[in-house]
Amino acid sequence: MSQPGLSNVQGNHACALGAVAAGCKFFAGYPITPSSEVAERMAAELPGVDGVFIQMEDEIASMGAVVGASMGGAKSMTATSGPGFSLKQENLGYAAQAEIPCVVINVMRGGPSTGMPTRPSQGDIMQARWGTHGDHPIIVVAPASVKEIFSETVRAFNLSERLRVPVIVLYDEVIGHLVESVDLQTPSPDALSTRAWADGPKADYQPYAVTDDLVPPMARPGDGYRVHTTGLTHDETGFPTQDPATAAQSTMRLLDKLEHHRDLIDSSESLHCDDAEIVVVAIGICARATATAVAALRDKGVKAGLFRPITLWPFPERAYTEATANAKAVLVPEMNAGQMILEVQRISRGGLDIHGLNAVDGEAIEPARIVEHVEELAR
């Protein structure tokens, strides 16, 4: 039974509710397990807020529709899983290059190819960062509870609108289908971000100007500003260029704007890391299992801690460094053959012993397995 003020909500439904609360007015998608409940709930919710839901013919068209709707001024979103996420990559790269805000939900399932549609996985961690080609900006957030799916979906829209960048909300099937009793508080209008619209002289407007915050104001359709939008490398006017210096400046601004706003983007959780000798780095259902394992290990006198990146990309390096300052070893449990561990290895200080704990069988990693591996590292 739900307590007063609480409702039983599924993770995927919380995602849809978070999108609507963030001001999403357009959803285009295609049914795919295990994310279909996001689309189903959006189909029910959007008409009530003067929004538009379209079931497209495929995942490629869905992403294209989302990009087009966002260019028209609407906060836009789509939802998918592994195979569909692969199909979205070309248009996702276009959104990154043309700086078109949009939110993509990816509820991970077993792979590769069609894999295990109803089984959980965390196999899209690297694809979420590097799925499209070229050096492109992308933000990925990784919620680990129903309530956090709601709040991180809201934050995804805020980041996307504020920074003119695609944002991916990435979570595994277990979190997507989890039902929890939650109190989902609708954010106040002041807590919601909208993109900066051009308002200066029309003759002087450059759609990709280098501004102080590296995020150029966007032209609102119908306001009379001339804009050329292309996926080709472009200069500040938006027209294509192959001039080496201009191309380098354009690409680096896309990347630098995320680094410039790391204080806005970075988010993480540390549990018992102050004195931890073994730090476990995990996301999603693996992080929930780790929290249980850390409590059991602490009861046994083992100084274990959990570091959970909530913003997965860019990886919260500063917070990770602080969390592992006193550690002698790090364990990375993940439901893949070893993806997040590559980033952990890259940013870890010398002498820190890094170990992986992997599962590719469609089963979540249990707390007992994490306890066993941490105890081995503690010996």
One DSSP character per residue, 144-213 reads: -SHHHHHHHHHHHHHHHHHHT-EEEEEEEHHHHH-EEEE--PPPPGGG---PPBP-S-GGG--TT---TT
The length of the chain in residues reads 379
pLDDT digit string, tens, across residues 171-219: 999 999 999 999 999 999 999 999 999 999 999 999 999 999 999 999 9
For residue 257, give the nearest of 208, 202, 205 by alpha carbon: 208
Four-residue CA torsion sign, 163, 168, 170, 176: positive
For residue 226, which phi and psi values (nearest 5 degrees)?
-85, 130
Q: Is the pLDDT of residue 100 over 80?
A: yes
Q: How confident is the model at residue 280 (pLDDT cuts 50, 70, 90)?
A: very high
Q: Is the pLDDT of residue 139 over 90?
A: yes
Which position has the token pair 């979540």? Answer: 364
All domains of the chain, ordered by start, with CATH?
Answer: 7-191 (3.40.50.970), 202-263 (no CATH), 270-378 (3.40.50.920)
Q: How far apart are CA 229 and CA 319, in angstroms?
A: 37
Number of Cβ within 10 Å of residue 243's Cβ equals 11
Q: How confident is the model at residue 3 (pLDDT cuts 50, 70, 90)?
A: low
- What is the model's pLDDT at position 277? 98
For residue 55, which phi and psi values (nearest 5 degrees)?
-90, 115
Residue 224 Cα distances to 199, 217, 220, 227, angstroms: 10, 14, 8, 9
- pTM of the shown model: 0.97
